[in-house]
Amino acid sequence: MKFRFLITLLLIFTFENGSKAQEKYEVRSGIISFFSSAPFEDIYAENNQIKSIIDLSTGELAFVVPIPGFVFKKSLMQTHFNKKYLESYKFPTATFTGKLITDSSFDKQGLNLVMVEGDLQIHGVRLKIKEAGQISFVKGEVMVTSEFKVRLKDFNIKIPRLVIKNIAEEVLVKINLTYTELE
């Protein structure tokens, strides 16, 4: 219930300007993953429960990612991730609201390199970020990809000294989403 309220609030707040419907797209499918390489163990998880909308007429976009939706190969890693590190019982979602920055209009026939700027909130901490991404248009769908690093300490995610060699101080986040027209 809290998740639905948050996504509704984000969508209303971010896209209240009433732009053309044919420029608004919602996620049909996609994955957000992260990878952490540390001396004793690599950690990988992915989440396909993303809710997102993008308005190409304004460049605005919003994401809501349920933290418990990240799936790990080892169930114990998933349990520790949710209980000890991300505390998903207190901070059940990660969010991003921002805008695409590009030097020209989108080429709806090919690949577009863009910058994305906005607020990323993880673990109750909101930070301004600016990262590179790609948008391409294929058969009426919008494909969005990006790769960037997140430093755990920037989001007050504490790593106990006992397992400091098991978890890297920063993780590589990859976004690969497919959007379809919002109806």
Q: Are strands 71-72 and 51-55 parallel, antiparallel or unpaired?
A: unpaired
pLDDT tens across 119-152, in order? 999 999 999 999 999 999 888 899 999 999 999 9
| Between 148 and 2, residue with greater pLDDT | 148
pLDDT tens across 26-42, in order? 998 999 999 998 887 88
d(CA 65, CA 110): 28
What pLDDT score was predicted for residue 165?
A: 66
CA dihedral 19, 105, 149, 61 (to 10 degrees): 0
Class for the domain spanning 2-181 = mainly beta
